[in-house]
Amino acid sequence: MTGLPWDQRIARVLVRPLVATPVTPNHLTFVTLIMALAGAGFFAIGTPETANWGAGLFVLARFLDHFDGELARQKGLSSRFGYYFDYVTGGLSYGALFMCMGIGLRHGTLDQWALALGVAGLASAIISMFINLGIDKRHAVIGKETPRDSVGYPGFAGFELEDGIYLLAPITWFGYLTPFFAAAGIGAAVYTLWSLWTLTRLHRPTSSR
């Protein structure tokens, strides 16, 4: 996708008041990690009320995840630790979400399949994290992006595939969490395969592409 996605454009504006403060990108990354893990934890309790709170908190955390990168750009800050910390935060957040949703939904219509989907989603999130790190590294080698930039997601008209997580809140609030979880578990596996295919293509010799 060409151009910035809408959520990143919004983050670019909202983060400006923090530029003149002692707040660092790593501070924001840590806050979003805690928020995401807390939101995921609410799902594990397994009640509609806690799921509603968890959905709202997790979606907010994923939106705020764009703030650390924008703050780093506007402050002119960049670090190897921050780069990896951001990736680990994303992987742990999504992995925890899948696992906790599986735990919370295991007594519903999915029964033990909920746990299986949770484990599959957790594995997909962690594996995708390492694959995307490899894609980033390969892009830097062949000169397609700077080391600070992270791998992009397929998207259209200012929206990325990753933006589908924003639907988690309204879908949960309207009582459709179970089908969403089943679809998301399958989608996470498909995304992992897509990422692996992308990495494989990048490792091909230039002459063969």
146 pLDDT band, cuts 50/70/90, is very low
DSSP string for 123-141: HHHHHHHHHHHHHHHHHHH
The listed CATH number (1.10.3720.10, 2.60.130.10, 3.40.1260.20, 1.20.120.1760) that belongs to domain 6-208 = 1.20.120.1760
Lowest mean pLDDT among 41-55, 100-114, 134-148, 190-204: 134-148
> Residue 144 pLDDT more than 50?
no
Q: Among 43, 69, 34, which Cα is nearest to 152's? A: 69
- What's the pTM? 0.86
> Residue 2 pLDDT more than 90?
no
What local confidence, expressed as pLDDT, does residue 141 receive?
A: 54
CB-count exposure of residue 140 (10 Å: 0-12, 13-18, 19+): middle
Which tens digit of pLDDT belongs to each residue from 48-68?
Answer: 999 999 999 999 999 999 999
Domain segments of the chain: what residues?
A: 6-208
What local confidence, expressed as pLDDT, does residue 208 receive?
A: 45
Which tens digit of pLDDT belongs to each residue from 5-25?
Answer: 888 899 999 999 999 999 999
What local confidence, expressed as pLDDT, does residue 206 receive?
A: 54
Q: Which pair of structure tokens corresponds to residue 71?
A: 């703050």
> Residue 142 pLDDT more than 90?
no
* Mean pLDDT to the nearest integer, 79-107: 95
> Residue 84 pLDDT more than 60?
yes
Which of the two residues, 26 and 160, has the higher pLDDT score?
Answer: 26
Which of the two residues, 126 and 6, has the higher pLDDT score?
Answer: 126
Question: Contact at 8 Å (CB) between 177 and 51?
Answer: yes
Which tens digit of pLDDT belongs to each residue from 152-181?
Answer: 555 566 677 678 899 999 999 999 999 999
* Mean pLDDT to the nearest integer, 96-114: 96
What local confidence, expressed as pLDDT, does residue 145 receive?
A: 45
**How far does the chain reach from its first CA to its final CA, in angstroms?**
20
* Mean pLDDT to the nearest integer, 142-160: 54
